[in-house]
Amino acid sequence: MMSLRNIVLLLLSITVVAPIVLYTDRLSTFNSPSTKQEFIEDVTAFSLSATDSEHLNLLPQETSNVPKEPVRFVYTEGSTNTKNLPRGLRLGESREHAFARVLYTTTEEDQAQRDNPIKQVIDGIRHEKQGGGILEKGESASENVSGEDAIDANDNDGKLTKSDQVSDQESPIKATKQEQPAVETSSNVNEKGPILSNNQNEQMPSDASVHRLKDQLIQAKVYLSLPAIKAIPHLTRELRLRVKEVTRTLGDASNDSELPRNANERVNAMEQSLLKGKQIQDDCAAFVKKLRAMIHSTEEQLRAHKKQTLLLTQLTAKTLPRGLHCLPLRLTTEYYYSNSSQKRFLNQEKLEDPRLYHYAIFSDNILATAVVVNSVTANAGDASKHVFHIVTDKLNHVAMRMWFLVNPPGKATIQVQNIEDFTWLNSSYSPVLKQLNSPDMIDYYFKAHRASSDSNLKYRNPKYLSILNHLRFYLPEIFPKLNKVLFLDDDIVVQKDLTGLWSVDLKGNVNGAVETCGESFHRFDRYLNFSNPLIAKNFDPRACGWAYGMNIFDLVEWKRQNITEVYHNWQNLNHDRTLWKLGTLPPGLITFWKRTFPLNRSWHTLGLGYNPNVSQKDIHRAAVIHYNGNLKPWLEISIPRFRSYWTKYVNYDHVYLRECNINP
């Protein structure tokens, strides 16, 4: 019995003493310097891999805060409550996403000397951002993070996901089962967050290298002009060589895809040469002074080129191309040789029939007038009901008649009149005719020394000397038996049937036109001189302007309201050109003030003679497109993308056009 009791006591002693011995031996193992240091290094490496990599340069280089006794890993998500932790334990600051935290203890001596390296990084970031950043709401005073910090943290955490995984593989520490879910949560958050560096690459402009090469050219030219660089012949030769190379590389390239393959080599070579220049000439003041001089010189050249461009554009708009000058000469010669003076246009009985659709075209441009007539008849439902009244000057009357005798517009009716036959139109009746023939007006146009008196050259176009331009104000006198007339400029193209305009109710107004007040420069204050009391008293500067070019006129209301007399009164008041500049739109705005009915915008689209950005949608839906401006479709300076709408109504195979070498 005694032996059995002894055996039981021995087993109980072993059961009690064995755990104590084993635990004591484990503690002695951790007290080994080599084992302890190895464990600390692994923990520190793992901790650093979960921190913002771009801020690691803030860590002190001499020493690091070494944790004394690692306790355990804690995995958190969102914010962490630190109140329940044992005293002496410090938890790293929380991020917006979940990741592993390392809890460790430090001696009081080390804590007094220096914080742990992770906290130094975070404190450094906070100190850097709090200078100008705006602290986010809802965070404690010790854990404020600026908006920029939040973005940067998400960005870099997304970049460091793979490095975290590598650190986990290399570390000898085996994480608990909670580790993988925490890391996966962090990865998922990072994948959702934007990565700024990738967005920046995607948003890189397509001409970045082109701009860099151009900047290098400017820098090289500045260096070549500085005395310090000129004193070094070999550097001067090198910079000149680089300038030639970069200039050839750039060529006419407008984006990086057009640069040759060796563009990067040229950039690097130029960069090296510029660095040499910078080492020699480090005086920024001289460099800035030269750049300012270059900018001033460039601005002066730009102003001179703009002025020259405007002058040449106006000159081109005033002149007639050789082919269009040849055409009336050829037609006039043919008219007299073929005895065409005895020929008459058909259907002359329709000229005064108010039941038909009558068009008024006042022009000395034969080909442009032909396009207007051809486009109207091509889109008309019944061409036999359309009558064209063309008025031209004495010089082109015969040629205009010959053209339409040889090229009759199908079943439509044509009338060609000479303005010289309007005997009632004289200087005693028309104030504008008296003004146009005055020596002062002729001096205004043709005396070179007066050219600087008016900055806007478009008002100095001699076309305003032609009474054809003002004939639109005398429609009742020209067509005394008609009720309605559709006025068309010679720089328009008709794309749809216009007969619907005759059925539009103008509601007692005289003029039906499309308003053009979509832009500020199409309002009254851009055409009239509102500094004059007479203009300021009678008109609204913000009133909406309208367009000439396609206007339906009610001649019955015109006569009833005595519109021609209104026009004459205002022309007499503007004898010294103080109310408005020359032209027909300003007096038209005044004459038809509160007498204009706004038509739907789809009837008339303008701008094809000056605005290359007119939308294709507006062009296709428009019944009439208007090449108002200097870039007329029959000139070489016309806008290419709009030219085809005009040329489709010209038969370039016509014998007269071939003889005059008129091509599309």
Instruction: Give the C-alpha separation, 502 to 554, whole Å.
Output: 9
Please write the tens of the pLDDT for every residue from 470-508. 999 999 999 999 999 999 999 999 999 999 999 999 999
How far CA 317 is from CA of 44, 270, 362, 493, in Å, comes to 80, 46, 18, 19
Give the sign of the dihedral formed by CA 593, CA 599, CA 602, CA 604.
negative
- DSSP H helices, 356-415, are 366-379, 397-406
Classify strands 550-554 and 484-488 as parallel, antiparallel or unpaired. antiparallel
Question: What was the pLDDT predicted at 124?
Answer: 52
Structural tokens at position 424 = 């009632």
Domain formed by 324-660, architecture? Alpha-Beta Complex (3.90)
- The DSSP letter of residue 542 is T
Instruction: Give the C-alpha separation, 264 to 38, whole Å.
Output: 48
Grouping H, G, I as helix, E, B as strand and the rest as coil, residue 423 is coil
CB contact at 8 A, 639 and 305 = no
Question: What was the pLDDT predicted at 338?
Answer: 83
* Cβ contacts of 196 within 8 Å, gap of 6 or more: 151, 152, 155
CB contact at 8 A, 522 and 402 = no
Structural tokens at position 150 = 């939040």
Question: What was the pLDDT predicted at 538?
Answer: 93
* Cβ contacts of 637 within 8 Å, gap of 6 or more: 313, 316, 630, 631
Question: What was the pLDDT predicted at 475?
Answer: 97
Please write the tens of the pLDDT for every residue from 164-205. 443 444 444 444 444 444 444 444 434 434 433 445 455 678
Structural tokens at position 372 = 């207007």
Domain boundaries defined on the chain? 207-316, 324-660
Q: How many CB atoms lie within 10 A of CB 104?
A: 22
Residues in the chain: 664
Determine the angle formed by the axes of helices 2-30 and 33-49, rounding to 10 degrees. Answer: 60
Return the closest-CA partner of residue 580 out of 522, 513, 535, 515.
535
Give residue 36's identity as a one-letter amino acid code: K
Question: What was the pLDDT predicted at 54?
Answer: 42
Give residue 243's Cα distance to chain centre: 31
Question: Which residues in the chain come in under a pLDDT of 70?
Answer: 1-2, 19, 21-203, 282, 341, 442, 444-465, 518-521
- For the chain, what is the largest distance between any 2 Cα atoms, rounded to a whole number of angstroms? 161
Give residue 67's identity as a one-letter amino acid code: P
Q: Which single residue is written with the structure tokens 């240091």?
A: 37
Q: Which single residue is written with the structure tokens 């970049």?
A: 159
Instruction: Give the C-alpha separation, 390 to 417, whole Å.
Output: 6
Question: What was the pLDDT predicted at 158?
Answer: 37
Instruction: Give the C-alpha separation, 491 to 317, whole Å.
Output: 13
Half-sphere exposure in the Cβ direction for 550 (13 Å, CA)? 31
* Cβ contacts of 356 within 8 Å, gap of 6 or more: 350, 385, 386, 387, 413
Q: Model's pTM, two decimal places?
A: 0.60
Question: What was the pLDDT predicted at 231?
Answer: 86
